[in-house]
Homo-oligomer: A and B are copies of this chain.
Amino acid sequence: DFLHALSEVKTAFGASTKDLEVSRPNGFVDCGDRQRLIYESVMFLVERVKAKGRGGPPVTCLLHGPSGSGKTALAATIGIDSEFPYVKIVSAETLNGPHESQRCAHITKVFEDAYKSPLSIVILDNIERLLHYTEIGPRFSNETTHTLLKFLGKTPPERSKLLVLGTTSELTFLKSVGLRKAFSVAYSVPLLRTEDAKKVLEQLSVFSDDDIDEAAQALNDIPIKQLYTVIGMAAERGGRFKDSVTEKLNITHFLDCLEEVTAYV
């Protein structure tokens, strides 16, 4: 089934897969129906790449949504599950050199390497960060923007088939620089609703059956990233979880930490 498929470790791809695993250090949990539908739609695109005839620009898909909603983990998981021989993630954390020409050269290299493989996935993670976008100004690298536009529109060489997955939490910005329409499809990765959050808490087994509903009730429209932070803080505050992950969280600590984390945002 779906979750089982996701949790299978793909070991065949060496270093590349390792880079992807960094994005989901604790494995992959089911975040509810809406995320699963997106996973399936993108996996259809993976199949379409394989089936695609020659010619034309790469297949392209954008995952957007609030900060911390799980976009990178989802893209990395699809990269792993594709079993394509070339899967590469380009992120602000891995881009070397602060100058835009260095970033453009890095991106160019990644696509040119992809062109050498019959089947490839390039993940452009947090595109606004790749562009050094800052809201005030706004400031961003126009040169890098046009480098991305170029490779999203460029027909790969004959024997190479390519899927480009982008992620962003700044969809409006991407629209304004023309990058949104450079992707054929776009999916909105949602926050966790109460029922999704409960599902995640169950999979992580951090609450006793008595507390789980009260905890989930406090968690509407939360990014999964924040949920992990709150769990980590509450675990520490209770003085537990140090030696063993089997103990449960104190619901009061949990709610206190939740408040601290969501205040002043």
Task: Give the segment of A1-9, A138-146, A191-199, A213-221 that binds chain B.
Answer: A138-146
Q: Is A232 touching B52 in the complex (CB atoms < 8 A)?
A: yes
Q: Is B55 touching A150 in the complex (CB atoms < 8 A)?
A: no
Chain A residues 246-265 with CB under 8 Å of chain B are 260-261, 263-265
Q: Is A25 touching B56 in the complex (CB atoms < 8 A)?
A: yes
Q: Is A154 touching B93 in the complex (CB atoms < 8 A)?
A: yes
Distance from A154 Cβ to chain B, minimum over Cβ atoms (Å): 4
Q: Closest residue to A146 on the B side, CB-wise?
A: B132
A226, B260: Cα distance in complex, Å = 29
Interface flag for A10 (CB, 8 Å): no
Interface flag for A16 (CB, 8 Å): no
Chain A to chain B contacts (Cβ below 8 Å), 30 pairs: A22-B55, A25-B56, A26-B56, A44-B233, A45-B236, A51-B235, A51-B241, A51-B242, A59-B232, A92-B146, A92-B149, A92-B150, A93-B150, A93-B153, A93-B154, A98-B146, A98-B147, A129-B146, A132-B143, A134-B142, A134-B176, A134-B177, A135-B178, A136-B140, A136-B176, A171-B264, A180-B265, A181-B265, A185-B233, A186-B263
